[in-house]
Amino acid sequence: MLASSFSMLRAIFTSFLLSLNLGYYLRPAQAQVVGDQTLDSQVDRVGDDHLVITGGQEAGENLFHSFSEFSVPADFTVHFNNDVDIANIFSRVTGGSISDINGLIRANGNASLFLLNPAGIIFGPNAQLDIGGSFIATTAEAIRFQDGIEFSAANTETEALLTVNIPVGLQYGKSPGAIISNGIVVNEGPDEEFFPELRIEPDNTIALIGGEVSLKSSRLEAEAARTEIGSVSEREFVTLQPDGNGWIVNYDSVNDFGKVTLSDRSRIISGNGGSIQIRGEEIEILDSLIDNLTSGEVDGSNTNLIATDLIEIDDSFIFTQVAREDGSSITSPITGKGGNILLQGNRINVSNVSLIVTGTISEGNSGDITIHTEDLLIQDGGQIRANSFGRGTAGTITVNATESIEIVGTGVVPDFDRNTLAVIGERVVESGLFATTESGNGGEIDLTANSILLRDNGTISTLAESNGDGGNIDIATDTLVLFDPSAISANAQEGRGGNIQINTQGLFVASGVEEQITASSERGIDGEVNINILDVDTKIDTTIPERSPLVVENLIYTGCSFGKDSINNQFNYVGRGGLPLNPMEEITTEDVMVDLGKIELPQTQNQTPESTVPLQYQPYQEIREANSFHVDKQGNVKLVAQASTVEFPSTCQFNGFRP
């Protein structure tokens, strides 16, 4: 996306996709919705492009349908002609073929539609929804109800199917099929269109829950509603619970998840209290957008991405904003609080100028961003921001990383002319964490990790422009490393600078704390920077120890004898020469043992008065097995052995030590 030829290449690629998808438009239109005769589901063709579904089995407000095939051809409409009193339509596909949805699905009234096909579901470029209730597409094997009854695509027995109870969950079988949405983008720019475009009415749920889930050039829209995307493995159970916004989807019983991918300019749009949840083992957001807008008095809801392993966000945007739907300037205050963003995964990568943003351009407070992970990597211009462009306060960014936080590198953002899509310039942007404001108070940043590394313009900032106060930064880490250029700042223009609190066991700054860690104000009161080295005794001492003045080789003999010179044999303790016991200890100086002189022994008749007597040794007694006993005066019996004497050889080698 950096070269001016990108628009042309994308246009060529879009044309290529259009040609590939012509098959959807040109292939013969055939009725591919066929009842399997288990529930009396009737399919009638009306005209050239209309299929009407009647019959089925009713139980209270529930309506059950069963099909051997369920695919909607291009430009066709499949109409569930249900009674308006029906609340839920449960439809299963039992024939083992994938459902190819490339037309319009319609239902009467406010009925919710469940489409159950374990083999898989594909949404083509023309897929659309026209229903008044929720839409749940699933590759589960069965829908389980409150009374224990299962509506199964594998077991088609009908005796116990009729139930007036509400569903409590989705039971997945072996190798659940994928849910795929393959679309195209045309008219790139402000008037671009997305196909397929799956949209539901407010206060409902749109859910795609399958083996793997992939959205390519697709758009899901759920204003003031709930969006659920989940990928689960085989034999898992996903619970359902009805509420005012359709259905709450819960994964507490799931052990193994699958992969969710959004790619090629896919969009998930929500707002005004709507929530977005994506669950999987791996979640990839590639060249795509997730947007959750607050434009009135209702507080925004949560946008949650939860993975058991990896969350990869590349060249993509995740927003919760307090703003008008068209992004225009504010004419009246918006008081609703922006939605929060939660990212949770073992590894989280934010790269290639990706933005994760909670923001406000009005009086409502910006939402908060919370990240739970082992390792967080922000690189190549990736940014996590809690912004305020109005009077509202910027939100709080909280990162709990059990291992590391790494912020590194820059990225280039092209500026496009909205009419011609020509590249008119480039902007280089700071990878980093930002909680900034233009007029309100800066947000706060709280970081906890074993290690935090900033390099190549990596930045942590709570800048407050105008008269706002800078936000506070709180960092708790074992090691904090700042290469040059990188910075931690809680600065302000007219307001007070924020405060920076750093608790660490090791701080490594390339060019100096005063240059890279600041809490200043241009025209106001500076904030405070408090750096607490928690345990000074554990710091690594990098000083070069002095050599010992003693020459040990001159003080220790390597041989000995029992001759007249043996009295000159010595052993002197010289310590460690100034070395600590381990590299984490301070260097200590140990005194050398004082030389107490020579021992003078009495002369013998074989020595001259000028000589000294060599040291005398007792014979070495060999340890032997007891071969006798005796009784001492106290009456104690003692085992004894006859002792033998062993004399030392005339010469020995034992490096200065005597036995």
pLDDT at res. 658: 37
User: Cα–Cα distance between 78 and 216 in angstroms, integer?
Assistant: 24
pLDDT at res. 613: 47
The confidence band for 643, taking pLDDT boundaries of 50, 70 and 90, is low
pLDDT in tens, 127-161: 999 999 999 999 999 999 999 999 999 988 755 56
Pairing of strands 560-561, 651-652: antiparallel
Classify 302 as helix, strand or coil.
Answer: coil
Ramachandran assignment for 537, one of left (phi > 0), alpha (psi -120 to 50 degrees), beta (any other)? alpha
- Other Cβ atoms less than 10 A from the Cβ of 116: the count is 26
pLDDT in tens, 14-66: 343 333 343 333 333 455 899 998 999 999 999 989 999 999 999 999 999 99
**Token pair listed for 611:** 């000589």
- Other Cβ atoms less than 10 A from the Cβ of 506: the count is 16
**Token pair listed for 537:** 């005794």
Nearest by Cα to 195 from 285, 126, 288: 126
Q: Among 213-227, 381-395, 453-467, 626-640, where is mean pLDDT lowest? A: 626-640
Residue 9, pLDDT > 60, answer no
The confidence band for 387, taking pLDDT boundaries of 50, 70 and 90, is confident
Residues across the chain: 659
pLDDT at res. 462: 92
Pairing of strands 41-45, 50-55: antiparallel
- Other Cβ atoms less than 10 A from the Cβ of 567: the count is 16
Nearest by Cα to 498 from 461, 534, 451: 461
pLDDT at res. 542: 36
Residue 490, pLDDT > 50, answer yes
Q: How far is CA 135 from the centre of its chain?
A: 29
Q: Calculate what percentage of the chain has a pLDDT beyond 70.
A: 70
pLDDT at res. 18: 38
pLDDT at res. 442: 82
Residue with the larger pLDDT of the pair 109 and 391:
109
Q: Is the dihedral of CA 598, 601, 604, 610 positive or negative?
A: positive
pLDDT at res. 145: 95
pLDDT at res. 20: 37
Q: Among 5-19, 354-368, 416-430, 508-522, where is mean pLDDT lowest? A: 5-19
**535-553 burial code (b ≥16 CB/10 A, e <16):** eeeeeeeeeeeeebeeeee
DSSP E strand stretches across 62-189: 62-71, 77-80, 88-93, 99-101, 104-107, 112-116, 121-123, 128-130, 135-138, 142-145, 150-152, 167-171, 179-182, 184-186
Contacts 24+ apart (CB under 8 A), 423-427: 423/3, 423/4, 423/6, 423/7, 426/2
pLDDT at res. 651: 43
pLDDT in tens, 221-276: 998 999 999 999 999 999 999 998 899 999 999 999 999 999 999 999 998 889 99
Which H or E run includes 219? strand 219-223
